[in-house]
Structure 1
Amino acid sequence: MVIEVENLSKAFESRVLWHGVDFTVDQGEMLALVGPSGSGKSTLLNCLGLLDRPTSGAIRYRGKDITRFGRGQTRRFRRDSLGYLFQDYALIESATVDENLEVALAPRRRAPDDSRPSIAEALGRVGLADRGKERIHHLSGGEQQRVALARLIVQQPALVLADEPTGALDDANTAVVIDILRELSQAGCAVVLATHDVTVRNACDSVFAVPRQPGRHLVANR
């Protein structure tokens, strides 16, 4: 088990967004977070990535409660274990494609027997071979999404969090996203994604419905 969420709650002053949330994510599993707009899917995802803090409850990563991590532990968790696919791609727009992927790899020293794909291999996988010298701001939105996917491919994180990864994409690019995330899961990565897209939801192994009302939740295994 990679992630175990237990009795998690999140409140903003007097407003309870959700509480009593429980689910697990195994190695190699793709789990979709679904629910109406405003239900807190992105907030829940951000709590998993320690970009936000839950009000109460526990999030265990390989048995350790990451909600209790200090700054150093949080930084190492994000650096060594976590890959994030943001809605805005979180790329350095003034840098080249290659430079963006090199930045992602810089904190992680490659061992001599490291089997992770090279930058060239990753770009080839997402259909951007020979585009490494182009600057990000010259690319279309779909191409920038592919760069973000290539970043995950070279990182090979243990946990991927994806926030509406196909929200602004056409069918062809949506299929690329699904394929890459599935390949990562098959390689042993746990994938958690927030989505409104039925196609993406149906491609996942399990679905967690973020409750419409506090205290109500449902996990449905496919």
Structure 2
Amino acid sequence: MSAEPREMVAIMGPSGSGKTTLLNCLGALTRPTSGALTIGGISVHPASAAVRRKFRRDHVGYLFQNFALVESESVERNIVDPLRIMPRKRRPSTSDISRALGELGLPGREKDKVCRLSGGEQQRVALAAVLVKRPSLILADEPTGSLDSANGHVIIESIRRLTDQGACAVIATHDRDVADCCDRVVDLGQFAVSART
């Protein structure tokens, strides 16, 4: 499999076909059992733990299926705290955060506790964290799963803006409408069948 800058690739397939596992391998969270993984000229597998950590820090924006937010903290803290490991000059400003939240329909919500937000609002907070990081690789696991169609469209358009600026996005989804917005679809179900024959 390959994916290019400025490309949105949908990963489809039935439950259990490996969509999330593939994203975790691409994001250097899970080590593949075999083969090689090179992203942007960086050998991510095989590679040391330090190389994988630096790769995640510098290049990956991940939209987890469960949002990966701290519910007892504010929206702003959930966006800023994970980025404290970034070099100081790359950390987002307060205005960057406000702008990202505004783009996603959450203006002025910086101080709200995450536990008071709906599932859809929490998903948009998770995306705001990706927007302010500006990663070169976006990995999204069912990014519209908790959203109505209008808000789902906002999420996909936001990811598309990042790819238009040079990022690559790989999106695991069951949603055919999301896949239709992507440049290419990789169907793991079909791959598994063809791999066995």
TM-score normalised by structure 1 residue count: 0.82
Match of 2:152 in 1: 174
Find the residue that maps to 2:87 and give its secondary structure: coil
Q: Deviations over 1:101-140 (max 9, x none)?
A: 111331223539x99x711111111111111000100100
Match of 1:56 among 34, 47, 53: 34
Residue by residue, what CA displacement relative to the aligned partner does 1:47-83 show, whole Å, maximum 9, x if unpaired? 1112212111111112332111211111111111101
Partner of 2:4: 26
Please show how residues 92-131 of structure 1 align to structure 2 within 5 Å: 92-111=70-89, 118-131=96-109
Q: Are residue 35 (structure 1) and residue 6 (structure 2) matched?
A: no
After superposition, the CA RMSD in angstroms is: 2.0
Residue type of the partner of 2:139? L
Matching residue's letter, 2:69: L
**Aligned residues between the structures:** 194
1:215, distance to aligned residue in structure 2 (A): 6.7
CA distance in 1, matches of 2:7, 2:81: 27
Identical columns (%): 48
Are positions 1:88 and 2:66 aligned together? Answer: yes
Residue equivalent to 1:136: 114
Aligned to 1:3: none
Give the partner amino acid of 1:31: V
Give the secondary-structure state (helix, strand or coil) at the position aligned to 1:33.
strand
**Match for residue 48 of structure 2 among 58, 70, 79:** 70
Which structure has more strand as a fraction of its residues? Answer: 1
Matching residue of 2:125: 147
SS at match of 2:2: strand
Structure 2: distance between partners of 1:55 and 1:129 = 44
Indicate the SS of the match to 1:106.
Answer: helix
Structure 1: which 5+ residue stretches go unaligned?
1-22, 218-222
1:82 and 1:160 in contact (8 A); partners too: yes
Taking the aligned partners of 1:65 and 1:90, their CA distance within structure 2 comes to 26
User: 1:216: Cα distance to partner?
Assistant: 2.3
Distance between the aligned counterparts of 2:148 and 2:20, measured in 1?
22
Amino acid corresponding to residue 74 of structure 2 in structure 1:
T
| Letter of the 2:55 counterpart | F
Taking structure 2 as the reference length, what is the TM-score of the superposition?
A: 0.91
**Which aligned runs of 4 or more in structure 1 are off by greater than 2 angstroms?**
109-112, 211-217
2: CA distance, partners of 1:93 / 1:76: 27
Give the structure 2 partner of residue 46 of structure 1: 24
* Higher percent of residues as helix: 2
